Amino acid sequence: MIDGTTQGTTQEADQTAGCRTRFAGLLAPGLAADRLTRLALALRLSPVQAPAGPAPLAVLLAGDGSAVPESDALWLPPVAAWIEPPTDTGASDTADRLAPFLAEAATSDLYLNLTTATAHDLQLGGRLLAALSARHPLEGDRRDDVELALHEAVSNALVHGNLGVAGMKELSAQELERFSRDLGDRLADPVLAGRRIVVTLRIDPAEDGRRVATVEIADEGAGFTPGPRANSGASGRGLDLIGTIADGLTIEDGGRRIRMRFRL
């Protein structure tokens, strides 16, 4: 296998932000074998048909929904990155467009970069939890809580961030209908549905010998100003729940990025 750490994009990452993940191979469910081979070699990676072995792999997810991996194996080690390639480019420069994504992925332990349209249909909170707990077992209530926090942060980024749908304020069926309609309309807008959600997860040793996971979730929406929330409506509990569960919570970039820390 070609070792991606000594050449190309991962080498740049080694020198800049610090390489954590040295990708060895590339999977692309639904992509023809010859195209995968060309793409992988252009990125100095080995084309891989199915997850195997210890070396980290990156998975390309097609945006048309045809290749969304239902298989749990594609969300577990050694897969450490899930990337939806940009669709507005020809096949020839897909590798050039993917290289920065892979370089960014190399600086994390887990990395995910998807359009809103694709991410909306996946249970990303549960997928991220599975990927995390495969690296550090989480059990019982803590497992449930971390899944909820991840799910809430992803949902906020997609629904309120990228799609700009306002939360349900009044407790009424009309407000639920409005939420439903807005969500459908915005998902049908190719510009909003094409906005990206980027998740990075890093696991580090904490001072007390335990480990801590730092998860950052970024969106491309208008952001928001954190402030006191009214708890009387149907929406607005998500961030409070995250704050209760996480051991650290920071809102950055005008509300477009949330950073959560979980002691493991």
Partner 1 sequence: MDYGIEVRDQEAVIRLRGRLTFNDHAKLRALIGEMGQNKLKRQVLDLSSLEFVDSAGIGMLLIAREEMDRAAKQFILRGAAGQVKRVLTVAQIAKIVPIED
Of 116, 119, 81, 122, the closest CA to residue 100 belongs to 81
For partner 1, the closer CB: 121 or 252:
121
For partner 1, the closer CB: 80 or 215:
215
Binding-site size, partner 1 (CB under 8 A): 31
Q: Taking the complex as a whole, how short is the minimal distance between the CB of residue 224 and partner 1, in angstroms?
A: 15
Among 81, 159, 201, 258, binds partner 1 (CB under 8 A): 159
CA distance 183 to 177: 10
- Residue 133 as a binder of partner 1 (CB under 8 A): the answer is no
Binding window for partner 1 (CB under 8 A); candidates: 7-15, 17-25, 106-114, 146-154: 146-154
Site for partner 1 in 71-130 (CB under 8 A): 120, 123, 126
For partner 1, the closer CB: 2 or 241:
241
For partner 1, the closer CB: 153 or 213:
153
For partner 1, the closer CB: 62 or 168:
168
* DSSP per-residue codes, the chain: ---GGGSHHHHHHHHTT-------EEE-TTS-HHHHHHHHHHTT-EE-SS--SSS-EEEE--TTSTT---SGGGGSTTEEEEEPPPSSS-GGGHHHHHHHHHHHHHTSSEEEEEEHHHHHTS-HHHHHHHHHHTTS---HHHHHHHHHHHHHHHHIIIIIIIS-PPP--SSSHHHHHHHHHHHHHHHT-HHHHT-EEEEEEEEEE-TTS-EEEEEEEE--S---------SSSSS--HHHHHHHH-SEEEEEGGGTEEEEEEE-
Among 22, 38, 97, 237, binds partner 1 (CB under 8 A): 237
- Residue 233 as a binder of partner 1 (CB under 8 A): the answer is yes
For partner 1, the closer CB: 3 or 182:
182
Among 235, 246, 256, 262, binds partner 1 (CB under 8 A): 235
- Residue 183 as a binder of partner 1 (CB under 8 A): the answer is yes
Residues making contact with partner 1 (CB under 8 A)? 120, 123, 126, 141, 144-145, 147-148, 151-152, 155, 159, 167-168, 171-173, 175-177, 179-180, 183, 233-238, 241, 244
